[in-house]
Amino acid sequence: MSSSGQAAGVNPENWKIIDGKLYLGWSSESMDEFAANPKTNITKANQAWERLAK
């Protein structure tokens, strides 16, 4: 999920484990940004996935 709420590709070399869950990103920079504020970013990502699933 991109920061704009769109589905996005990932690079399996760019990942973080946060609270025991694996998160994949498309670049190391995007993962660093994601991990800088994980609670907010995880909430936003979950909400975006809910919209995409409809």
**Would you say residue 14 has pLDDT above 70?**
yes
- pLDDT tens digit string along 29-41? 989 999 999 999 9
Global pTM reads 0.71
Residues 36 and 28: beta-carbon distance below 8 Å: no
Question: CB neighbours of 2 closer than 8 A, spacing ≥ 6?
Answer: 8, 26
50 phi/psi in degrees, rounded to 5: -60, -40
Round the average pLDDT of the chain to a whole number and report it: 86
